């Protein structure tokens, strides 16, 4: 790799699997010092094998996130890049979804990034600036049936990144959303464990101009750009990595 992130002290939530693991891997390959938070302790070995740090943290636990950010900032001597990647899908229409499920989902999907960024921003200011990256979705610009809480959360994340970009530009901080389409991850593959799997996969592929699913590594490449100094004039934006889905 080219060392595009050499020495950048990075925190990634949800970094133990899927897209976020690919981001952690690519960041480390590009020279970043990476600390991953994930809810599943079984993912520690894979992260540590790459040379990354790992901690078991629930992205919806305010005190836990704040403590992790403080501990890693001290251990790494500061922070430069923050990736809010933790999240999960919840499929239910408005009549099926309980208020408790809504609150729990929002605690991870929208409140989680806010808490993470709020805790990290003072450390980025102290470092002279940095990059905040929120893992959004192409669904932040569209709707999808039965994604009653997921879609609003991703819409909200776009708004959060825009406001952070405006408020902290004076401190040298950039804030952007990274918005994947349907990416070939274990989570997506598990959803294909249904009788009409072939039809569902064909539908997902048809949403891309390339008639295929995206790769986690392709999203990670976008994250490298947003974290690197190459994107020094990019802030308040949403980088689409969806094969053209939102261009239709």
Kindly tell me the burial class for residue 188, based on how many C-beta atoms sit within 10 Å of its own C-beta (0-12, 13-18, 19 or more). Answer: middle
Q: What are phi and psi of 211, to 5 degrees?
A: 55, 45
pLDDT, mean of residues 58-65: 98
Q: For position 149, what pLDDT does the model report? A: 98
Kindly tell me the burial class for residue 114, based on how many C-beta atoms sit within 10 Å of its own C-beta (0-12, 13-18, 19 or more). Answer: middle
Catalytic residue, chosen from 150, 168, 204, 245, is 150
Kindly tell me the burial class for residue 221, based on how many C-beta atoms sit within 10 Å of its own C-beta (0-12, 13-18, 19 or more). Answer: middle
Per residue in 159-183, is it b (16+ CB within 10 Å) or e — as a string? ebbbebbeebeeeebbbbbbbbbbb
Q: What is the per-residue pLDDT across 108-119, written as a single tens digit (0 to 9) for each?
A: 999 999 999 999
What is the pLDDT confidence band of residue 35, given thresholds at 50, 70 and 90?
very high
Q: Looking at 49-58, 131-140, 195-204, 228-237, which range is the least confident one? A: 195-204
- Can you list the positions of beta strands (E) in 47-188? 53-56, 81-84, 130-135, 173-180
Q: What are phi and psi of 242, to 5 degrees?
A: -135, 20
- C-alpha dist (Å) from residue 248 to 100, 116, 208, 209: 35, 33, 9, 9
What is the pLDDT confidence band of residue 99, given thresholds at 50, 70 and 90?
very high
150 is annotated as an active-site residue: yes
pLDDT, mean of residues 42-64: 97
Q: For position 172, what pLDDT does the model report? A: 98
- Is residue 1 predicted with pLDDT exceeding 80? no
- Residue from 159, 171, 174, 179 nearest 244 by CA: 179
- Domain spanning 9-183+215-237, CATH class: alpha beta
Query: Which tops the pLDDT comparison, 207 or 13?
Result: 13
Q: For position 245, what pLDDT does the model report? A: 93
């Amino acid at each position: 790799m080219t060392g595009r992130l050499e020495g950048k002290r990075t925190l990634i939530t949800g970094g133990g699997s899927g897209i976020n693991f690919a981001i952690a891997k690519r960041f480390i390959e590009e020279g970043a010092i990476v600390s991953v938070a994930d809810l599943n302790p079984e993912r520690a070995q894979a992260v540590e094998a790459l040379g990354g740090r790992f901690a078991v943290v629930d992205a919806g636990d305010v005190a836990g996130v704040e403590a992790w950010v403080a501990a890693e900032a001290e251990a790494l001597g500061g922070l430069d890049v923050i990736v809010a990647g933790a999240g999960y899908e919840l499929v239910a229409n408005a009549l099926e979804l309980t208020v408790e499920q809504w609150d729990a989902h929002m605690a991870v999907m929208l409140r989680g990034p806010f808490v993470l960024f709020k805790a990290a921003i003072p450390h980025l200011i102290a470092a002279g600036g940095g990059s905040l990256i929120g893992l959004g979705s192409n669904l932040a610009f569209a709707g999808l049936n039965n994604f009653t809480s997921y879609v609003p959360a991703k819409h909200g994340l776009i708004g959060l990144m825009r406001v952070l970009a405006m408020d902290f530009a004076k401190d040298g901080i950039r804030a952007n959303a990274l918005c994947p389409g349907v990416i070939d991850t274990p989570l997506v593959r598990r959803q294909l464990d249904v009788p009409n799997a072939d039809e569902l996969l064909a539908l997902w592929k048809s949403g891309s101009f390339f008639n295929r699913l995206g790769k986690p590594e392709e999203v990670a490449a976008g994250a490298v750009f947003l974290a690197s100094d190459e994107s020094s004039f990019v802030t308040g934006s949403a980088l689409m990595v969806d094969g053209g889905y939102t261009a239709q």
